[in-house]
Structure 1
């Protein structure tokens, strides 16, 4: 049986896929284009092998809106006129009809793919300049992860088609091309959210479904980031998509060079149990590094010494403190204590997601304690956003091995993915962040901002 999260004594710092690809913040209601979305007639956008199934119509609608977007966007950001793709192919791997395709199969004579090889996949063929997809796969993605993941898959492949025009990564690294395609898909998704689309609409909660769907599409944890088919970690892919959505195509064009940060990494011999530390160890390590980190950066940020809060666990019944009623996680101003429910949150998050889900759970209310000491709010939307951002900043120190003099524990592949999963699964729960109208997509964006840009971006201090 695991012990309670004991109150901890502060210490002083010693010194801080798509599996077969070929080659701002949203607030309020997102809207469709000028009028209700309308289906694209088949004759206006031919797809070889297409059926009358709704999923094929949905894919065609996405492709038509992608053509409209890139017709305008390509000249503005990449120079030259947009060149339409040579064609599109739909395959039903569950009920394959080979007679629906020409003798060259999927693609063209110079790069022919048998229809059965499209099963479970969607890809862009740069030789033939075509996109092919398995509609059974698209239907499965839609059923399991929400309808918007289907057009995002199309947008990712369309991104590869645009790379075929302006150039793939000079380094030859697949992970650069794949995450840049995610960024391009994010920029297009923002265009849809802003009402540019004629054939699709976007509802804000669907963005949460999309980023959850990226968990299915990431590389396996511990995969080689230099593999010829590497797509990136969960954090890498979600971060790239958010880049495009938040800052647009100029970022997608300019921020995916050889110096881009990728968190995907192979496991090392020291990464036991797939990189997951024992429950008690992660509690101890986080309880050591949080006060150490804040003890060092707080004076620089706010000009005063940091007085670390207590950290305590409870079982089921929240402590008697205003604002913690019916909560699994929170900060109590009255006794300056960070509280976490072990039975309902700490243990399940650790067991279901991993050790860095628990680290994230502990760091979030701790960041609220930091804000309290800084004289800032702790119970509104700005406080929640800032706490998530500050948690990203803190976890970036683990990534940079800044705690090496405190303990022999380094971040493992997949740890940052676990932080993102925690925010999407638990962060949107009122028992974690009550009465705050914030989507999981926004929380992930805040975490990413802190991780990449540091504390100055997290609204701490004047």
Structure 2
């Protein structure tokens, strides 16, 4: 978030940008991954119970499937791999990886001809290396310090680093994080075979198509079709979304030399692409092109203004400025009051950092707690928390005030939780434009703010919670509702979540 004249500044992460620009290998369709990813995914909000109002947007289902916890990862009775690994060390990581490749190929053996009308041809070879070793070559590149997984267009092979990357992924998010990365890389092989790409296709399109194709495969696993893996639609799927957030592009400024080069997408964009594949099918992935991505990106900022961090310190003044901006954007008949004192609310019960009381039309902010929510991540791996992780919760309570002023709208249901997430997405998109506030400042969304909101939705669910701070079990559904709002308008949220 940016407020003119009062924006905190920090140095941009030019080191990572330089590594990213200089480390590209033209022959590799690469996944932008951090070598060490430390993720914590736990839904801090309580889970709502009850019967949903709308079958179309069932809060207790994920893309039509029940949102349930259960086992996730390699089955105890998993079918044996059908492929062998070149240069393997015979260890557990390579066994997990080749099981993943075998499973992905089994899926595409049926899904590919159904989608593209031709027989499926597997990759020519599957190669393993240790990035700490000195004697490996993949796709013509020395594998020493190659902490990566990739599809090689030159010889139609897939390879991975068994020494650093895959163990880090498995430690952070379990078996399926490894499988998802390889499903993404196999997505590039599917693109190649299906002729979806040309020499002029932007990297951004290629990468988001591959994210989408990975989502198609993961739906097959979640439906119980895989003979090797299981994936729960609650915590299991939430962890995969967290990994997708970790794979986002680094946050760059307009002056960075690497700006616009080798784009893979923001966390919001990559999660969206994965969700499209999981919800729809491979044909939806094939339809992704520069125009579709540009339309989906809309006015969302991609680059930070020069010498700015995009972080606005959470204070009483900044909170008031956000509320003032909301009043200007939505012009409610009865703007909510704002207090920084605890409130005794007769018709709502929440101890969140920001709460809304319908009886008094008041938003109460626990400033230290909101500051904690909006603390910026100490590094650029994993979930990307920051000021808008906190401000988005504040905006969500404002959007509950707007709902309260609409006749017949309940605030204490599962539908209300997702409706709140959707409306917060609407408010987020509106803030891409500068809003002048009565105090003479301007408030505006900056690059990275949407990703910070998405991280918060996955971590604590508060943006997607009802008036009592209760959320729905599926992070997938929470983020999906938020995205509907970002890409839509207020009325769409009320229609989808009545």
Is TM more than 0.5 here? yes
Residues 1:206 and 2:236 aligned together: yes
- In the other structure, the counterpart of 1:410 is 444
C-alpha contact 1:331 1:339 (8 A) present in aligned 2: yes
Residues 1:189 and 2:225 aligned together: no
Query: Using the alignment, how far apart are the partners of 1:334 and 1:205 within structure 2?
Result: 35
Given the alignment, which residue of 138, 157, 161 partners 1:106? 138
C-alpha contact 2:348 2:468 (8 A) present in aligned 1: no
Matches within 5 A, 1:129-208: 129-136=156-163, 137-165=165-193, 166-168=195-197, 171-203=200-232, 204-208=234-238
Query: Using the alignment, how far apart are the partners of 2:280 and 2:111 within structure 1?
Result: 14
Q: Which runs of 5+ in 2 are unaligned?
A: 1-16, 30-62, 377-384
SS of 2:159's equivalent in the other structure is strand
- In the other structure, the counterpart of 1:27 is 66
Query: Using the alignment, how far apart are the partners of 1:264 and 1:90 within structure 2?
Result: 38
Q: What CA RMSD, in Å, does the superposition of the two structures yield over aligned residues? A: 3.1
Given the alignment, which residue of 425, 443, 446 partners 2:478? 443
SS of 2:374's equivalent in the other structure is helix
Matches within 5 A, 1:363-378: 363-374=395-406, 375-378=408-411
- Per-residue Cα deviation, 1:331-366 (whole angstroms, up to 9, x for no partner): 21221112232222x111222332222320111122
SS of 1:229's equivalent in the other structure is coil
Given the alignment, which residue of 215, 228, 235 partners 2:245? 215
Number of residue pairs matched by the alignment? 417
- In the other structure, the counterpart of 2:339 is 312
C-alpha contact 2:301 2:446 (8 A) present in aligned 1: no
- In the other structure, the counterpart of 1:11 is none
Query: Using the alignment, how far apart are the partners of 1:284 and 1:214 within structure 2?
Result: 33
- In the other structure, the counterpart of 1:419 is 453
C-alpha contact 1:169 1:257 (8 A) present in aligned 2: no
Residues 1:361 and 2:393 aligned together: yes
- In the other structure, the counterpart of 2:272 is 239
Matches within 5 A, 1:26-65: 26-29=65-68, 38-42=77-81, 44-65=82-103
SS of 1:311's equivalent in the other structure is strand
- In the other structure, the counterpart of 2:365 is 340
C-alpha contact 1:39 1:199 (8 A) present in aligned 2: yes
C-alpha contact 2:183 2:214 (8 A) present in aligned 1: yes
- Per-residue Cα deviation, 1:93-149 (whole angstroms, up to 9, x for no partner): 34x384xx7xxx434xxxx233325x3110110111011101231111111233321
Deviation of the 1:431 alpha carbon: 11
Structure 1 pair 457–387 and aligned structure 2 pair: CA distance change class (3 A)? same
Residues 1:452 and 2:452 aligned together: no
Residues 1:124 and 2:151 aligned together: yes
Residues 1:350 and 2:374 aligned together: yes
Query: Using the alignment, how far apart are the partners of 1:178 and 1:264 within structure 2?
Result: 19
Q: Which runs of 5+ in 1 are unaligned?
A: 1-16, 296-304
Given the alignment, which residue of 113, 117, 120 partners 1:82? 120
Q: Which has the higher contact order (CA 8 A, sep 6+)?
A: 2
Answer with 449-458 or 23-32: which moved more.
23-32
Structure 1 pair 250–167 and aligned structure 2 pair: CA distance change class (3 A)? closer
Structure 1 pair 41–115 and aligned structure 2 pair: CA distance change class (3 A)? farther
Query: Using the alignment, how far apart are the partners of 1:326 and 1:354 within structure 2?
Result: 21
Residues 1:268 and 2:310 aligned together: no
Deviation of the 1:389 alpha carbon: 0.7
Query: Using the alignment, how far apart are the partners of 2:313 and 2:469 within structure 1?
Result: 30
Structure 1 pair 36–236 and aligned structure 2 pair: CA distance change class (3 A)? closer
> Normalized against structure 1, the TM-score is what?
0.81
